[in-house]
Structure 1
Amino acid sequence: METEMTASGKAPCIAALGTGSDVGKSIVVTALCRFFLNRGIRVAPYKAQNMSNNSGVTPEGLEMGRAQIVQAEASRIPPHVDMNPILLKPTTDVGCQVVLMGEARENSTALDYHQKKERLFKTACESLDRLRDQHELVVMEGAGSCAEVNLMAGDIVNLRMAEYADAPVILIADIHRGGVFAQIVGTLECLPPEQRDRIAGFIINRFRGDIRLFEDGVRWIEQRTGKKVFGVLPWYTHITIEAEDSVVIESPPAVSPGRLGKPSVAVIRIPHISNFTDFDPLSAIDEIDLFFIEKVQNLSGFAAVILPGSKNTRFDLDWLKTGGWADTLRAYVDNGGHVLGICGGYQLMGQYVHDPHGLEGTPGSEEGVRLLPVETTLKAPKTTTRSRFMWDGTEGTGYEIHMGQTDRLGGSPMFTVLEQNGGTPHNSEDGCVSQNGRVMATYMHGLFDTPAITRRWLECIGLGHIPISDARSGPAARDREYDLLAEHFEQHMDTEALLGLVDKA
């Protein structure tokens, strides 16, 4: 299928906006990208502004949100920062790091950022225009609710961007939250008539039960709004797509490891956790239970504990120490436990974290958790690389996103870095392994995407007997999941009506 260029000579766009946060916009856009690709349309994803601590690195060595990387994979194209020109990475309740066109530019309060939105809107429009020049269709994703009336004047990602692109809007609502009728009608009532007219119809997400029981609901919505329900997406458990927001792991309960006779691995859910999708390949292993835990508990039943990435190392370090986690982790290691740190987790595990320039607060130094003989100095510029590395003869790939440098004072390196961003590495050693081999850390995100590396790590923690299929992780495995998602999507959507939106765009 070929799409027709708009009057401007650029590719058409359609927009997927939401009635609220975490209603499934990212998943719907991912499904739409693979759906349109399967119809022979050269499609690209786009989100003007993303707020997430889950990020990745493009082939050019630039940083962007992982949700748009996932959507680019579903479109079978390389990720590019034009797909996510503005990335906000929360560092406090009222502040964030601003990543503009793939580079960390500044730390900003919400108020300061709001005052710069007009300039940023221009940048976002330029990125969208470039995508429209290079593809046949752009699927745009909104952020949060598209009807936050107190924020709409400065909105640069929802209806204002859809208006710029002259894109028809699909409004996504989440029936699992309850109140789906109020979500839809309330959103429309909050919009001025010209924006309300831009909404072409709705997708109802996360339905549980017999979908036939909602047929009356669909008719009511269509009669009440005069707009089409494109489909109702049932809840699924047979598809694994990376989550965008850490809301999916908020407030995890204390757990009992080994409850089903399986070995268990714990990931400590620190306050500013980043790139928690690093552990999706581990959670896909049937023979292991993976838990996110937040409240201090006895760790003796876990085969290993992981300290994940952090967007505010000093805050999370204080949280670990004052809450009792630091003592608990040291006792766990003293009793034979295995600990792995990734990126910010690597920094947390050292002897000290130095912040001479006050990148994360008042300048100063903090004593670390003291699990490894390393010291970290927080400093600019930010490191963003895609890397190829070797671990005891096993090759893997990953990516680094961190502010600062960690110096090893003892132990041994974990990996030998072979290549960074397609060239010679700045430093051929990465990470640290303790003398007894039970504590290790690395700056590499995505290391478990390589099955052989997962297998090697399981050997280190005494679980080498667990079979690891080469087909369960990595790009090929993710591509199969996108096909499953598109199949699920098409089964429950009016696909001809969706294709018709492209013709009308």
Structure 2
Amino acid sequence: MARLNAQFRLKPLAVLGTASDVGKSVVATALCRIFRNAGIDVAPYKAQNMSNNSGVTPDGQEIGRAQIVQAEAAGVVPTADMNPVLLKPNTDTGAQVVLQGRVDGNQSAKGYFRDTSRWAAVARESLHRLMDEHELLVIEGAGSCAEMNLYERDFVNFRTAREAGASVILVADIDRGGVFAQVVGTLAVIPPEDRALVKGVVINRFRGDIVLFEEGVRMLEEKTGVPVLGVIPYFRDFAIESEDAVPLGSKVDPKAAPSKGRTAVAAIYFPHISNFTDLAPLEEDPSLEVHYLHKPRSLEGYHMLVLPGSKNVRGDLDWLRRMGWEEPIEAFRRRGGLVMGICGGFQMLGRSISDPHGLEGSPGSTPGLGLLSATTVLEHGKCLTNSAGVVDGHGIAASGYEIHMGRTEAAGGARPFLKVTGRNCQAVEDSDGARSEDGRVIGTYFHGIFDGVALRNWLLAQADPAYVPSSGGMGRNEAYELLARHFSKHLDLERLFELAGIPAEGRS
């Protein structure tokens, strides 16, 4: 992509929020694609991400899934600098810390926030490297940008905006209500020097006739003196991967039941669920019903049960037993349902999980569900690869990414699920996962296993021979284009480009 004339220095844009889950990640993704389509060399950046949805860059580094999505939308290769600090919660008060793509260790919340100078220094280094490598950065903030009790230690929101010399766009979610209080209250409590950085407001997730909010826009602008850059209607026709499990919790419906005549998939919503975006292709398939289940219930009527990833596998396995999930899972298996475990879910399906070094909690061993003849030992050193292979004995192509600290050995009647042919663009001869003798229990370390159409359709046909694949399907690139068009209709693009310092002659 041709770069702009060097005399034009583009001003980064920082997308900050009035609260968590107001849509910052999606707004940033839309901006990345809008600027990319305008011929700008744009890249995403988020100083610190707290999420168990992570991915692997092409050079084998771990970053938040949201920044990989944003890099895809921007048309650039994702790197560890795009998310230099990643916190992966593994208890209610602690998290694994990943610095510039590599595990640094575990920290309690109290310990992490006691002194954030080290994390801030790493983030600053990555920020300036990205600014040197790209014409424009779209910076995403974290949570609320106005958490005043943490303000002095918060290096993700306004401190990053100041360091980058960015114009701040404040995002508020009208769907949750109280949008005036969100915007006015945020601007009222932050220091004047940071308030001056806020150059525009985006009202996200509007439902109804947008004309009816014209007076609301006028009132907000009069009250704050900050222009509203757009009111974005709620979109339903396409999906962009979520950053964390906040929106996932709203999908848990205790009254949900499979419909007769439809292929139904159940997924257990663990307390420390991770990489739940693995199920996104199933959710987007109109031929399927996908239900996230938390409290134990009969699995009668479902065709496939998915045990997704977990950031605290032994802890979530203990939770599963305490809740009473073991019997419904075993009954589902006896009836011939297809049980699929991904990463942590795969480990749970085996005979035992041992953590001799206390990597995810207290050292020890926990009996598995015993549905696969396999044992897991958690080890120092994390496997971080983009991987490819074929289904053992069937030759169906598989691709995905591996993020795990466990080594699982299959034995007895279990056979490998996949023959692995490549990792991080290097040819290998290896195996992945395990499959029961009758093929009704499958485990794999491949996140993104459902992304491949042929493999997804094959797995669903194994679960339900009556499954009819939906025609077509939307690819990622098409989703990014739809997102960009949706936002472009409702944003003041002229003012947005001016905020970034992009001259008219620099736009394609």
- Map of 1:216 onto structure 2: 215
Gaps of 5+ in 2: 504-508
RMSD between aligned alpha carbons?
1.7
The letter for the 1-side match of 2:438 is N
The letter for the 2-side match of 1:396 is A
- Map of 1:386 onto structure 2: 386
- Map of 1:45 onto structure 2: 44
Equivalent position SS for 1:187 = helix
Query: Are the equivalent residues in 2 in contact too, given 1:353–1:377 (CA < 8 A)?
Result: yes
Residues 333-390 of structure 1: CA deviation (Å, up to 9, x unaligned): 1122210000000011111111111112221111111111111111110111110111
Query: Are the equivalent residues in 1 in contact too, given 2:29–2:69 (CA < 8 A)?
Result: yes
- Map of 1:429 onto structure 2: 431
Query: Are the equivalent residues in 2 in contact too, given 1:451–1:468 (CA < 8 A)?
Result: no
- Map of 1:412 onto structure 2: 415
Query: Are the equivalent residues in 1 in contact too, given 2:10–2:501 (CA < 8 A)?
Result: no
Q: Does 1:165 align with 2:164?
A: yes
Query: 1:83 & 1:273 partners in 2: Cα distance?
Result: 23
The letter for the 1-side match of 2:425 is G
Query: 2:197 & 2:262 partners in 1: Cα distance?
Result: 51
- Map of 1:402 onto structure 2: 404
Query: Are the equivalent residues in 2 in contact too, given 1:352–1:366 (CA < 8 A)?
Result: yes
Equivalent position SS for 1:366 = strand
- Map of 2:338 onto structure 1: 338
Matches within 5 A, 1:16-35: 16-35=15-34
Q: Paired residues, what number?
A: 498
Matches within 5 A, 1:312-327: 312-327=312-327
The letter for the 1-side match of 2:300 is S
The 3 A distance-change label for structure 1 pair 21 and 2 is: same
The letter for the 2-side match of 1:434 is S
Equivalent position SS for 2:426 = coil
Equivalent position SS for 1:503 = coil
1:497 to 488, 495, 498: 495
Query: Are the equivalent residues in 1 in contact too, given 2:256–2:291 (CA < 8 A)?
Result: no
Task: Name the TM-score, length of structure 1 as normaliser.
Answer: 0.96
The letter for the 2-side match of 1:328 is P
Q: Say which is worse superposed, 305-314 or 259-268, in terms of deviation.
A: 259-268
Query: 2:115 & 2:330 partners in 1: Cα distance?
Result: 45
Aligned-residue offset at 1:256: 4.4
Query: 1:150 & 1:211 partners in 2: Cα distance?
Result: 36
Aligned-residue offset at 1:462: 2.7
- Map of 1:76 onto structure 2: 75
Residues 51-72 of structure 1: CA deviation (Å, up to 9, x unaligned): 0000000000110000000000
Matches within 5 A, 1:60-139: 60-139=59-138
Aligned-residue offset at 1:25: 0.2
The 3 A distance-change label for structure 1 pair 343 and 413 is: same
The letter for the 1-side match of 2:493 is T
- Map of 2:506 onto structure 1: none
Aligned-residue offset at 1:201: 1.3
Residues 18-50 of structure 1: CA deviation (Å, up to 9, x unaligned): 000000000000000111111111100000000
- Map of 1:442 onto structure 2: 444
Equivalent position SS for 1:281 = helix
Aligned-residue offset at 1:236: 1.0
The 3 A distance-change label for structure 1 pair 271 and 126 is: same
Query: Are the equivalent residues in 1 in contact too, given 2:263–2:464 (CA < 8 A)?
Result: no
Query: 1:318 & 1:10 partners in 2: Cα distance?
Result: 54
Residues 394-452 of structure 1: CA deviation (Å, up to 9, x unaligned): 11210100111111122111000001111143x61111111111111100000111101
The letter for the 1-side match of 2:69 is V
Equivalent position SS for 1:460 = helix
Task: Name the TM-score, length of structure 2 as normaliser.
Answer: 0.95
Aligned-residue offset at 1:2: 6.6
Query: 2:37 & 2:333 partners in 1: Cα distance?
Result: 50
Residues 222-243 of structure 1: CA deviation (Å, up to 9, x unaligned): 1111110000000110121111
- Map of 2:184 onto structure 1: 185
Matches within 5 A, 1:137-152: 137-152=136-151
**Identical counterparts, % of pairs:** 50
Gaps of 5+ in 1: none
2:462 to 460, 465, 478: 460
Query: Are the equivalent residues in 2 in contact too, given 1:455–1:464 (CA < 8 A)?
Result: no
Aligned-residue offset at 1:172: 0.2
Equivalent position SS for 1:150 = helix
Aligned-residue offset at 1:119: 1.6
The 3 A distance-change label for structure 1 pair 464 and 424 is: farther
Equivalent position SS for 1:161 = helix
The letter for the 1-side match of 2:35 is F
Query: Are the equivalent residues in 1 in contact too, given 2:352–2:366 (CA < 8 A)?
Result: yes
The letter for the 2-side match of 1:501 is L
Query: 2:495 & 2:465 partners in 1: Cα distance?
Result: 50
Aligned-residue offset at 1:248: 1.4
Query: Are the equivalent residues in 2 in contact too, given 1:11–1:133 (CA < 8 A)?
Result: no
- Map of 1:472 onto structure 2: 473
Query: 1:463 & 1:104 partners in 2: Cα distance?
Result: 43
Query: 2:359 & 2:467 partners in 1: Cα distance?
Result: 44
Q: Does 1:246 align with 2:248?
A: no
Query: 1:245 & 1:433 partners in 2: Cα distance?
Result: 30
Query: 2:502 & 2:424 partners in 1: Cα distance?
Result: 41
The letter for the 2-side match of 1:483 is E
Query: Are the equivalent residues in 2 in contact too, given 1:282–1:288 (CA < 8 A)?
Result: yes
Matches within 5 A, 1:281-320: 281-320=281-320
Residues 116-170 of structure 1: CA deviation (Å, up to 9, x unaligned): 4112111111111111111110000000000000001011110000000110100
Query: 1:361 & 1:485 partners in 2: Cα distance?
Result: 40
The 3 A distance-change label for structure 1 pair 398 and 108 is: same
Residues 241-296 of structure 1: CA deviation (Å, up to 9, x unaligned): 11112111216122444326312100111111111111111112111111111111
Residues 78-104 of structure 1: CA deviation (Å, up to 9, x unaligned): 111111011000001110000111111
Equivalent position SS for 1:96 = strand
Query: Are the equivalent residues in 1 in contact too, given 2:10–2:502 (CA < 8 A)?
Result: no
Query: 1:406 & 1:2 partners in 2: Cα distance?
Result: 47
The letter for the 2-side match of 1:472 is G
The letter for the 2-side match of 1:100 is L
